[in-house]
Amino acid sequence: MTEVDSRLFSREEVRSIIGTSSVLGLRMLGMAMVLPVFTLFSGQLAGANHFLSGLALGAYGLTQAITQVPLGRWSDRLGRKPVVLICLSIFCGASVLAALADNIYLLIFARLLQGAGAISSVAYAWIADAIEENRRNRAMAYIGMGIGIALAFGLIVGPIIGGTIGLRSLFWICALTSFLSILYMILFMEDPPRKEPHREIDFDSAQFRSVLGNRDLWALYLCGFLSYTTLTAVFFMLPLLLQNYLEPVNFWMLLLPLSALGMVTMISSSRLADQGKTRTVLMVGFFLVIFTGTSLIFSGSYLIVYLAIFAYYLGYSILEPILATAVTKFARPDIRGTTVGVFNMFQAIGNFFGGILAGGLYFLHRELLFGAIAFIGFLGLLAILSLRLKHKPGF
């Protein structure tokens, strides 16, 4: 899915990066095709209203939050590949159910089931196993670039396909892309070797305290929650804002250049993070979220809406790979999968909360949602400033 610099990484590391990027990218492709038109088309199902559409969009995050920690634990003990295959199979079946849904309640149930097939924590732990710490930000950025390509393509073609043959077809494509990911995983990927000692022991109280008793990790967990709350909220309101200026089939005119710039931003910001400027880069990411919410409050033209979405996409492109890498640096190596699982659990809770928040506030008074996004960005900024970096000189 993406070209990796072979001068920086070994052959085995390149294979891990490309493989993980391909699996996550294929899965993202199907999901991305649904995102930009979900709010518009879910409203066509029997029993739908604005709140239930927001619930359907965010429901994925609820079960994802519940499963992230167990999946991270199981991958620490059983290996990354078996757990990823199980997750992809669940996601594939849930996508088929969503494609067959004829009412909003069945769609909500299918979205809940999709969330049970979460693989993010295992995938990030996979890369942490395979890549040395001083190159991990750039590895995550390459993976993010592959996901970004899939996201960009999905955002472009999703509205066209959805507008032509309906929402149902987009979930069939979700099922197909997840099935292709399963085949790729079986045929081409092997579990990475562990670079650090790994203890096959039960998740005892000492481990639990390490994962949940670290103040710096809690700051990063909060950042993950806040980042994904805004992500779901922005994608909820995106089609509602854009339809005032563009037909859904023309959303690509806005989203294509943003996606290209987002990928460049991922690589550039990750290089800065690897050079010891992680905190500064993350602060810029949350500043852009603040700008997004603030500018939308005063939006009255397509230009301001465009600039707000532009700022948010760049901010998300910064936060997505670097926050995940920061968690792996603060985590104990032997329970890294579990720690990343907790981080992804908070991201997933943010997905769920973002859907509920957007569905409630946008139609109550949309400026309330814009103000909430700006305030969330401010909270993220405070969380980054609270990190204690005495023993993290490269941060």
Instruction: Give the model confidence (pLDDT) of 236-294 as tens digits.
Output: 988 888 877 887 777 778 877 887 788 788 888 888 887 888 889 999 999 999 999 99
For the domain made up of 11-191+209-385, the CATH class stated in words is mainly alpha
What is the full per-residue pLDDT of the chain (395 aa) written as tens digits? 455 555 577 777 887 888 888 888 887 888 888 888 888 778 788 888 878 888 999 998 898 888 877 887 788 888 888 988 998 999 999 999 999 998 999 999 999 999 888 787 788 778 878 787 677 767 877 787 777 778 778 878 888 887 777 778 888 998 998 898 899 888 888 776 655 544 433 445 566 666 777 788 899 999 999 999 999 999 898 888 887 788 777 777 887 788 778 878 888 888 888 788 888 999 999 999 999 999 998 866 788 888 999 999 899 989 988 898 888 777 777 777 678 778 878 988 999 999 999 988 887 888 899 999 999 999 999 999 998 765 565 56
Residue 258, CB-side half-sphere exposure with 13 Å CA sphere: 22
The Cα 34–Cα 227 span in angstroms is 20
Question: Nearest-CA neighbor of 160 among 42, 34, 4?
Answer: 34
**Residue entry with tokens 């909430």:** 372
The Cα 175–Cα 9 span in angstroms is 33
Are 133 and 394 within 8 A, CB to CB?
no
The Cα 260–Cα 242 span in angstroms is 19
Distances, alpha carbon 212 to alpha carbons 74, 82, 219, in Å: 18, 26, 11
Exposure of 9 by Cβ count < 10 A (0-12 exposed, 13-18 middle, 19+ buried)?
A: buried
Residue 10 CB neighbours (<10 A): 13
Please tell me the predicted confidence (pLDDT) of residue 208: 60
pTM of the entire predicted model: 0.79
Here the tokens at position 222 are 């909060």
Distances, alpha carbon 78 to alpha carbons 17, 71, 84, 333, in Å: 21, 10, 11, 16
Give the distance, in angstroms, between the CA of residue 128 and the centroid of all CA atoms in the same chain: 17
pLDDT (tens digit per residue) in 325-372: 888 777 777 777 678 778 878 988 999 999 999 988 887 888 899 999
pLDDT (tens digit per residue) in 56-66: 999 988 988 88
Are 256 and 152 within 8 A, CB to CB?
yes
